[in-house]
Chain A
Amino acid sequence: MSRLEFEGLNVWFGDGPDRVDAVKGATFEVPSGASFGLVGESGSGKSTILRALVGLARHWSGRMAVAEAPVTGFKRSKAFYKDVQMVFQDPYASLHPRQTVDAVLAETLKLHGIGDVENRIEQLLLDVGLGPKFRFRYPHQLSGGQRQRVAIARALAPEPSVILLDEPTSALDVSVQAEVLNLLVDLRKAHQLTYLMVSHDLAVVGHMCERIAVMQAGEIVEIMSVEDMREMKAAHPYTRQLLQASLGYVGEEMHGGA
C-alpha cells in the first residue's frame, strides 16, 4: 500500500505577473515503510512539496493522499498531524527559545490527547538518545545535534507513521550528522516509519533512501533507485551533472585536459 501519493502536483506563489510556479506536475508515491528522497538545488521546489502536504503552501492543484485518503485545501485535521510529522532544517529556529524540552514535548502530547505524559517524555528522550537530564533544559543549553534530537522527539511524540525530513542534518557538523542519521535509521526500523526526505546532499540521501527523485526548476526530471544512483546510471543530464558535482571539485585545468 502506498502511504503517500502525489499526482500532478502543482504549487505556486503569488498571482498574475508575479506568479512563481514552485512545483510543476510532480508525481510519485512512497510505499508504507519506505524512505524516499527528494534532491535538487535551492529553489528546485523540493521543500515546497513537503510544505504543500502539511498545509504550509496554500495554492496547489493536483492530488495528494496519505494512506489513500486525499487531502484538500490547506487546513489539515488533527488526525492528519498525528499521523504526519515534520522535522525542519534549522534546529536553532524550530524550537521555542523560552520553552524547556519538557514543555515542548508535553505540549505536543497534550495537543494530541496522549496521556501518561510523564513516562512518555522519558521514553521519547531515551528513544532519541538524550538522557533524562536533558528534560528541563532550554534550547540555548543544547548543542545543534541535541536540538535536532529534541525536534525529532517532538515529531515522534504523537506516534506518527510518516515523518517528513527537510534537510535535517545540513546545519550540523559531519560527526553530529552521522549520529543523527544513524538515529533516524534506527527509529525508522523500530517504529516502522515512512520517510520523505529532502536534501541537497546526494550522499546523505543515498545513505537514507531507497528511491530518489531529482528535481530541477520545479519539475521532477528523474526518479531512480539508490543502486542506480551509486552506479552513476543517470538518464537525465542534470542528474549526471549533480552526481559529478557531488564527487567534488574539478579544476579548470582538468576541463582543458592539460
Chain B
Amino acid sequence: MSLLDVENLRVTFPTRRGEFEAVRGVSFSLGQERLGIVGESGSGKSMTGRAILRLIRPPGRVEADRMELEGRDLLSMSERDMQRVRGQQISMVMQDPKFSLNPVMRIGAQIIEIYRFHTGASKRAARAKAIEMLEAVSIRDPERVMRAYPHEMSGGMGQRIMIAMMLVTEPKILIADEPTSALDVSVQTQVLQIMDKLVRERGMGLIFISHDLNLVAQFCDRVLIMYAGKIVETCAADKLHEATHPYTRGLLNSLPRLDAPRERLEVLVRDEAWLGETSVSGRQ
C-alpha cells in the first residue's frame, strides 16, 4: 500500500477578482520512493506540499476527493490530531534554514523540544537522540552545535540541522521544498546523500520539490511536472530527458548546457491550450 494517496487535490484562494486556484485537481500517490515535483514558480508545487500538511491558512481552502496517509483521512482530522501528524508522521524541510529555525533558541533545545513533544521522552534520552541525529547528518562537532544559536551556523550547516530536526521523530514521509537551492554544490551533494540514505535504509517516502530539472532527473525515482496548478506529465526520473509534453521539453531546452553550447537559448513559448488540459494522474 502506498504511504500517501492524493486524489483531485485543489487549493483555492479567494481574491478580489474571484477565486484563484493554485492547485487544480492534482492526483498522485507516494510509496517508499523519491518522488520529484518540478515546475516554475507559481506552478503550485509548494502549495501541493503545504496542502498535504494542511498548512494553507484561511481564507485559503484545501479540498480533495481523497487525501490519505496510510489509509487515514487527513482532511477530516481534527487540528489536534493534525499536530501529531505534522513532524511525527510527515515532516517538511523548507528552502531557507534562516527562516525556519528559531533565532533566539539554542539549536539543541529546538531539537529536544520537537522530540519530546512527539514522543514524551525524558530530557536525557531526547538529548542523546538529538546528538545522534546531528551526527547522522554529518555534523562533526554535535556537542558544540547543540549549544550554538542558528546565526552562528553557515547555510549548509543550517540546512543539515533542519533536516536533523525534521527526522528526529523518524517520520514516514519527508516533504523537502527546495531543500538545496540555497546551498553550494558541494554541500548540496552531502544533503542529498543524507536524504537518499533515509529512503533506502528506513523506507521513508520523500517528496522532493524543486525547480532544478537536472537535479530531479538524477536524484529522484519518479517525477511529476507541474504547470499552472496541474500535473502536465509524469515519468520515471531517468526518462525525464525523453519527456514529450511541450512544456517539459521547453523547460529542458531553455537550460544552458556545458556539453552542448548554443548561440541562443531556446525560449519557452507557452500555449494557452495547456491551461485547458486535464491534470495527469501520478497515482500508481
**Which A residues contact B (CB, under 8 angstroms)?**
41-42, 144, 173-179, 181-182, 185, 200, 202-204, 206-207, 226, 229-230, 241-243, 245-246, 248-252
Choose among B40, B254, B258, B265 the residue that contacts A229 (Cβ–Cβ < 8 A): B258
B10 nearest CB across to chain A (Å) = 24
B contact residues around A174 at 8 Å (CB): 40, 211, 213, 251, 254-255
B215 nearest CB across to chain A (Å) = 6
**Which B residues contact A (CB, under 8 angstroms)?**
40-41, 155, 184-186, 188-189, 192-193, 196-197, 211, 213-215, 217-219, 250-251, 254-259, 261-268
A198 nearest CB across to chain B (Å) = 14
B contact residues around A177 at 8 Å (CB): 254
B contact residues around A243 at 8 Å (CB): 258
Known: A245-B188, A249-B219. A178 touches B265 (CB 8 A): yes
- The contact sample of 20 A-B pairs, CB cut-off 8 A, is A173-B40, A174-B255, A175-B254, A179-B267, A181-B256, A181-B265, A185-B263, A203-B257, A207-B262, A226-B261, A230-B259, A242-B185, A243-B258, A246-B185, A248-B214, A248-B218, A249-B188, A249-B219, A250-B218, A251-B192
B contact residues around A230 at 8 Å (CB): 258-259, 261
A239 to B255: give the CA distance in the assembly, Å: 21
A245 to B185: give the CA distance in the assembly, Å: 6
A contact residues around B213 at 8 Å (CB): 174
Choose among B41, B211, B258 the residue that contacts A246 (Cβ–Cβ < 8 A): B258
Known: A173-B211, A204-B256, A206-B258. A178 touches B267 (CB 8 A): yes
B70 nearest CB across to chain A (Å) = 27
B contact residues around A200 at 8 Å (CB): 184-185
A177 to B243: give the CA distance in the assembly, Å: 21
Q: Is the CB of B189 within 8 A of A249?
A: yes
